């Protein structure tokens, strides 16, 4: 395992911790801006849960007590980041400014999904 070992602290680990936190915060701020409809309310609740779960599970991974626990948390992070991507795509908006924000957040959700996927792959090596 490289910089992502559960027992070593490294700048990359904290960068990803900040990045997942910022993703959750930006999703929260986005939700405040979108039109409130019956569907959007449900989608937004799910987005808030999945984006914050990505961040909280990454913190848990950093504090893991074993390699197995670390990779279990990373799998959850990947799943929640991918789920956030889906909720962002489902939210119904027609404002071009908000559509740009959805693109930005969706891109970050997909990048986080890929990052966590790569970390997962390191467990198989």
Q: Is the dihedral of CA 61, 11, 8, 123 positive or negative?
A: positive
CATH of residue 34's domain is 1.20.1440.60
Q: What is the DSSP letter of 2?
A: -
Residue 3 resides in a domain: no
Residue 13 — pLDDT band, cuts 50, 70, 90? Answer: low
Whether residue 24 has pLDDT greater than 60: yes
Cβ-contact 122, 4 below 8 angstroms: yes
Residue 5 — pLDDT band, cuts 50, 70, 90? Answer: very low
Average pLDDT (43-52) is 98
Kindly report the pTM of this predicted structure: 0.86
H-helix segments, 32-95: 38-62, 67-90
Domain range for residue 21? 11-124
């Amino acid at each position: 395992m490289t910089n992502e070992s559960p027992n070593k602290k490294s700048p990359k680990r904290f960068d990803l911790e900040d990045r997942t936190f910022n993703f959750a915060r930006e999703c929260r701020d986005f939700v405040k801006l979108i039109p409130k409809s019956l569907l959007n309310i449900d989608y937004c609740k799910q987005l808030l849960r999945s984006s914050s779960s990505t961040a909280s599970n990454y913190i848990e991974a950093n504090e893991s007590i074993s390699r197995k626990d670390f990779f279990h948390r990373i799998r959850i992070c990947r799943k929640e980041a991918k789920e956030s991507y889906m909720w962002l795509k489902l939210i119904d908006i027609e404002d071009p400014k908000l559509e740009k924000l959805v693109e930005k957040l969706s891109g970050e959700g997909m990048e986080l999904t890929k990052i966590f996927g790569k970390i997962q792959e390191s467990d198989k090596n």
